[in-house]
Amino acid sequence: LWTMPTPASARCTVTYVWCSWLAVVVTDEFTRWLLINVCFTAYAVATTEQVAHCFMAYCYEDAAESAALLAIQVVVCGCYGSLTLMAVFGIISWQDEQMIITFFDVLAKILISAYVTSSRRTRSCVQLLGTRLVAANIAEDVRRMVRHAGVPIFSV
């Protein structure tokens, strides 16, 4: 598990979320800034990994949707980071930060799942259309062979 890329990103994300919450609720300034640095270092590592996966996925034609979803995830996590900094600097309260993050997290997950569902449905429709066109071409080829056959054909 320690060498797999997904658990490494998940560990960085857990570290990022945990340190960002601690940075908001601690009272000592040195500890707060230390936690903020750990938080954004973990975020930078997780983001770098996701951007690398995004570029690798974009190289393959079928994985362009995966690359777009990874890019959206990086942007969403960046918004979470800016909300965390707003709470740390006292622009918004930590309760408001948690409420906004919770709301937008649910909204982002709903929108991403709608995108995934619609893209899968589109892909299925395109495959069905391709299958239908192939079947129509085969039927036309059989009709043409029967019409131009040099011998009598009693049944097909």
CA distance 13 to 16: 5
The residues spanned by each domain of the chain are: 5-120
CA distance 110 to 116: 10
Question: Per the confidence metrics, is the pTM higher than 0.75?
Answer: no
CA distance 81 to 124: 37
pLDDT tens digits, the chain, 156 residues: what are they? 455 556 667 777 778 778 878 887 888 889 888 988 888 888 888 778 777 777 777 776 667 777 777 788 888 878 887 887 888 788 998 889 889 988 988 888 888 888 878 877 888 888 899 999 999 999 999 888 888 877 776 665
